Structure 1
Amino acid sequence: MNHFNIPTYDILSFEREIGNGVTNPLLMRTQHDLYVVKTIDHKEEPKVLINELVCYKLAKLLDIPIPDVAVVNISQHIIQSTPKLIELGVQPGKHFGSKFVSKAQPNLQPPMLRIATNLEDIPSIILFDQIIYNDDRTTNRGNLLFDLKQKRLLAIDHSHVFKIGALWDEVQLKRIHEEGICLIKEFHGHNYKVLLKYVNGNNPFNKVLQKVSELTIAAIEWCVSDIPDEWGLTDGERGVMIEFIWYRIENVAEILKLLKDQCPDWKGGDLSGF
């Protein structure tokens, strides 16, 4: 996929709290559509928004099924006219929005996958999680959606990635990087128990590996570019994030070896190119 611009929309109104996930996202209306918005407020730090935007861009390059996103601008006027936003301490300015999927079911269950039209994306999601070190996907029942209209599995919620979520800084991410390659912890949590039966056959990762092979360091630099200034990403943090992601991409072969031991229905296949 070619590089693309992330749109910026103005928030017109607050609809309700979503009530799903640690970050307590908000359903808000823009001039184009409804978005699930993660904000900078009393509770959440800008790193949550940085993680989401960077991982979205990487997901699109790897053809991971994920809702479209936008940077959304919340004005002081909207905040002052909305008691809930005042209560939450939402700051005026740019925040992260993921397009609302109106007919969708969280809490993934096996019957949903029996009618899913994109089962071939399951290995892609699992490998993507290892690249971004997304511990949250295995046990958090709210960060996979099943689109009931399209009958597609969607990956959402990438705030708690890079092993320690929004707590990372330049020093911490360097330390995690130096620990070497490993899989996410609690690999056999609820969601992965449901997903792993679809990592089967001889070459289940072929689709995503083709996309991985097309990545360059310039593509990762693009993923970490154009972060809104008010989110506070420093040049040093940008650099270590690029190094972290690129190192894990360069070591996909090692990740695949570790995955092979955890995926009993994966029969093998030629991985000599990775």
Structure 2
Amino acid sequence: MNMYGYEEVIFINEPRISQLCYNMKIGSTEPKFAILDDGRQVITKLYNGPEGTLVLFNEYLCYRLAILLDIPMPRSGICILDSSSEIQEDELASTRNYGKAFFSEYMPKVTKLLSPIIGKMKNKEDFVKILLFDHIIFNTDRNPGNLLVRFCKDDVSLKVIDHTHVFINQTFWDANCLKRAMEENDLLDTKVLEYNSYLYEMFFHNFSITREMLERESIVFKNKISRDIITEFISIIPDEWKPTQKDLDELVNYILYRVDNLDVIVSTILTYNNR
């Protein structure tokens, strides 16, 4: 069970950015600290950002999938930057960035993951979900900046952010790369494990991840992720963020191909980990 009900992490309305405050100075997508018109402090990625709008599509779709799977993430959604937003520094945004942006609620009291902290986490077992999820979305960008620890007196817990660089070619994926990956049986590909090894190894060294654990979560994933639910999530995403329909159709096929073959992915993970 996640830390709050599913309905509480999905925002129906699209709040306006009241103040765009400063650049977070982390990552290639240039996330920015902002305050929404309801007073919430958020981290936002703007329309027409440095790596394009597919970044926003990736973020929102992966957020919806992650919440469906009870993966711990800060509450996120769609917000709007327009002429009434106060932009505190000229270099933060221009009129070309007006429109719908992605946001996640700012998390105070978080720190980067360190190996000694893992034993203190109340939800360290959620790493099993994260490991499988990264494989489903082919996320090779799990790094110390997006796997965080909330460090409060009564809450030491794992949190996940940032799913911009996913689906093999990250911010440039299309139908061709996804189709080619399926034809080449990329279920056996170990790039996700290799590129994310710095963080993954911390968990592998701190508690035993067994076939039974992976298979148990795989069953949950298979029961929750369907063509209908992926299509529903995509339908909610702003049209201006979406790639072509051909790309979308192939993406749905690719995600389902990964989910349907989680048993192969589990074997790939275990073989790599026991090498």
Please state whether the residue corresponding to 2:43 is helix, strand or coil: strand
The structure 2 residue matched to 1:241, chosen from 242, 245, 251, is 251
8 Å CA contact 1:26, 1:36 repeated in 2: yes
8 Å CA contact 1:135, 1:184 repeated in 2: yes
Report what 1:54 is aligned to: 61
Report what 2:121 is aligned to: 116
Instruction: Note the 1:145-156 alignment, pairs <5 A.
Output: 145-149=148-152, 150-156=155-161
Please state whether the residue corresponding to 2:259 is helix, strand or coil: helix
Segments of 5+ residues of structure 2 without an aligned counterpart are none
Amino acid at match of 1:43: P
What displacement does 1:2 show? 6.8
Report what 1:41 is aligned to: 48
Report what 1:173 is aligned to: 178
Greater fraction helix: 2
Report what 1:104 is aligned to: 110
Report what 1:132 is aligned to: 137
Instruction: Note the 1:1-274 alignment, pairs <5 A.
Output: 5-7=10-12, 8-30=14-36, 31-41=38-48, 43-78=50-85, 82-86=89-93, 91-106=97-112, 108-137=113-142, 140-149=143-152, 150-180=155-185, 181=187, 182-185=189-192, 186-187=194-195, 189-197=197-205, 198-201=207-210, 203-205=212-214, 208-215=217-224, 216-264=226-274
Q: RMSD in angstroms over aligned alpha carbons?
A: 2.4
The TM-score normalised by the length of structure 1 is 0.86
Please state whether the residue corresponding to 1:161 is helix, strand or coil: coil
Q: 1:151-194, CA deviations, whole angstroms, 9 ceiling, x for partnerless residues?
A: 11111110001111111122222222322112334256211111
CA distance in 2, matches of 1:161, 1:225: 19
What displacement does 1:53 show? 0.6
State the identity %.
28
CA distance in 2, matches of 1:85, 1:207: 45
8 Å CA contact 1:144, 1:154 repeated in 2: yes
Deviates more, 1:221-230 or 1:62-71: 221-230
The TM-score normalised by the length of structure 2 is 0.86
8 Å CA contact 1:122, 1:199 repeated in 2: no
Describe the shift of the 1:103–1:254 C-alpha distance in structure 2 as closer, same or farther (beyond 3 A).
same
